[in-house]
Chains A and B, each alone.
Chain A
Amino acid sequence: MNTFFQTLIVGLRLGSIYALVALGYTMVYGIIRLINFAHGDFIMVGGYTMIFVMPLMLRLGLPAWLGVLAAIVVCALVGMGTELIAYRPVRRKGTNMTALITAIAMSLFLENLAQAIPAIGPNPKVSSQIFGNGGFKLGTVTMEYTTVITLVISGIVMLVLYAFTQRTRLGRAMRCVSEDKAAATLMGINVNSTILLTFGIGSGLAAIAALMYMAQYPKVYTTMGALLGLKAFVSAVLGGIGIIPGAMLGGIVIGLVESFTTSYISSSMADTFVFLILIVVLIIKPAGILGKNVGEKV
């Protein structure tokens, strides 16, 4: 029983990191039907930003995790820059396939650019400690503070994001653009700047995910976003790509699958199960758990 709860908590923690990254995939997919393969690499961008900013924070007597604010800004700028420089021109001229290939190219470009920067280089860097050590006992289950912080912050971020899309003017504009760009334009919505905003928010979430990830695995390297991004992408597809609550749900499910496989079967099978789930979902319910053909235009 103890193992079960411990595994459950680890899974939720891992899942909330996947969920934060999956949100970035799903928001961008929802609005321009593009799988932004570079999104995983935004985690790496956020990771390195924190590696460089956290010592400064500590020197100023501030907590290290405040570095995430700088990472959010840098990630948002890199995300919006990617849209402006790489995706927007391609979208105007090319097909969806052209855009997809551009996204893969952007991913490889970011990874290799990072390696080429002397301050980053090919060797992993270790981050300073982000949250305090320790934890408390909940019955027989140990709760690390880091875990609690991860769960609480991800929960808050997701609630705020959901409220933003449902209740605010800009959030509604985003939903309109994702449904119907021509009609959104007729309503007076600037479609291009709404897309840019979506990239900014989605990429900013990757920075928060990077913080949570580094709190557990304090190592940063140029390809750290590749597998993490891929699993988050699987989460987004599992929940129903393009659907914000779907990304949250999918992330949690994938996190749980991974932690339970690790605990009860074998850690070397964890990734296999994650991708097996992707295949099964694509066969049984291609639209994802929450994906429905609601309101197809008549």
Chain B
Amino acid sequence: MLEVNNLNVFYGAIHALKGISLTVGDGELVSLIGANGAGKTTTLHAISGLLPIASGSILLDGKDLQKVPSHKIISLGLAHVPEGRHVFARMTVEENLRMGAYIQRDQKSIQKNLDKVYEYFPRLKERWKQLAGTLSGGEQQMLATGRALMTDPTIVLMDEPSMGLSPLLVKEIFSIIETLHRNGITILLVEQNAKMALAVSDRAYVLETGTISMSGKAEELANDDRVRKAYLGA
């Protein structure tokens, strides 16, 4: 489904991604783990077209995303839940969700997706009229996730969904991720919380200063000594 080949990205003079390659298959939940500054977010930004790439290719169902303007990528079924939520603070919860369906014109399907998101996140339904900027961190994360689901995406990129949340909320968010996965949505998950990420994923890649140092089945990585030492605190 998603295929990243030999991707190179620069931030000015900094070589942020040094020829990384990864794949995410249909219906898979793949996570990208690694320390702060390893290039996880950069990878997702490059996929979504928010950052220009120096070389390499990104294919979605065989289609070269470099040839698609960044705002058209969502129309190909790829949704992105950015790091730090990036909800529209001065809009209400429901306005935010409707913005998620900006590319859709069919009111019926928008309403259907809205109901579906409210079913995933009953808390958002309770707060539908509230300004998004006044929500708690966990609620904003739910909103950002719900917003990404408004277009019925086939693949969702999730960037640090657990960041800054209490352990209880982290559990809640991860159980949502598992539900989405069970419902057949392909997910590429970026997480610093390697333990939780490996527990729910099918496969994983370990990113270290712009290169992929390890990859494999999530279970195997979770038992790998180097991973345990570096990322699982064991």
| Interface residues, chain A, with chain B CB atoms under 8 Å away | 169, 172-173, 175-176, 179-180, 182-183, 185-191, 294-298
List residues of B (57-107) whose CB comes within 8 Å of A's CBs: 69-72, 74-75, 79-80, 82, 84-91, 95, 98-100, 102-103
Chain A residue with the shortest CB-CB distance to B103: A188
- A189, chain B: closest CB distance, angstroms: 6
B133 at interface (Cβ–Cβ under 8 A)?
A: yes
Q: Is the CB of A172 within 8 A of B133?
A: no
Hey, which chain B residues are within 8 Å of A182, CB to CB? 50, 82, 86
Chain B residue with the shortest CB-CB distance to A172: B99
Whether A188 contacts B131 in the complex (CB less than 8 A), given A172-B99, A182-B86, A183-B88, comes out as no
Q: Is the CB of A189 within 8 A of B102?
A: yes
CA distance A288 to B176 in the complex (A): 42
Q: Is the CB of B91 within 8 A of A175?
A: yes
Q: Encode contact with A along B144-157: 1 for CB under 8 Å, 0 otherwise.
A: 00011001000000
- B139, chain A: closest CB distance, angstroms: 11
Q: Is the CB of B95 within 8 A of A180?
A: no
Hey, which chain B residues are within 8 Å of A176, CB to CB? 88, 91, 99, 102
Hey, which chain B residues are within 8 Å of A298, CB to CB? 85, 137, 140, 164
Leading 6 A-B pairs by shortest Cβ distance:
A295-B133, A295-B89, A188-B103, A183-B86, A188-B74, A187-B102
B48 at interface (Cβ–Cβ under 8 A)?
A: yes
Task: Name B133's contact: one of A169, A187, A294 (CB within 8 Å).
Answer: A294
Chain B residue with the shortest CB-CB distance to A181: B50
Chain A residue with the shortest CB-CB distance to B84: A297
**Most chain A CB within a 10 A radius of its CB, from B79, B98, B102, B132:** B102
Chain B residue with the shortest CB-CB distance to A186: B80
Q: Is the CB of A169 within 8 A of B102?
A: yes
CA distance A9 to B140 in the complex (A): 47
**Most chain B CB within a 10 A radius of its CB, from A176, A295, A296:** A295
Q: Is the CB of B89 within 8 A of A297?
A: yes
**Most chain A CB within a 10 A radius of its CB, from B50, B99, B147:** B99
- A33, chain B: closest CB distance, angstroms: 15
Whether A188 contacts B89 in the complex (CB less than 8 A), given A297-B84, A298-B140, comes out as no
CA distance A172 to B96 in the complex (A): 10
Q: Is the CB of B86 within 8 A of A180?
A: yes
CA distance A191 to B148 in the complex (A): 18
Hey, which chain A residues are within 8 Å of B88, CB to CB? 175-176, 179-180, 183
Q: Is the CB of B84 within 8 A of A295?
A: no
CA distance A296 to B133 in the complex (A): 7
- B135, chain A: closest CB distance, angstroms: 9
CA distance A187 to B78 in the complex (A): 10
Q: Is the CB of B82 within 8 A of A295?
A: no
CA distance A221 to B70 in the complex (A): 44
- B158, chain A: closest CB distance, angstroms: 12
B213 at interface (Cβ–Cβ under 8 A)?
A: no
**Most chain A CB within a 10 A radius of its CB, from B70, B84, B100:** B70
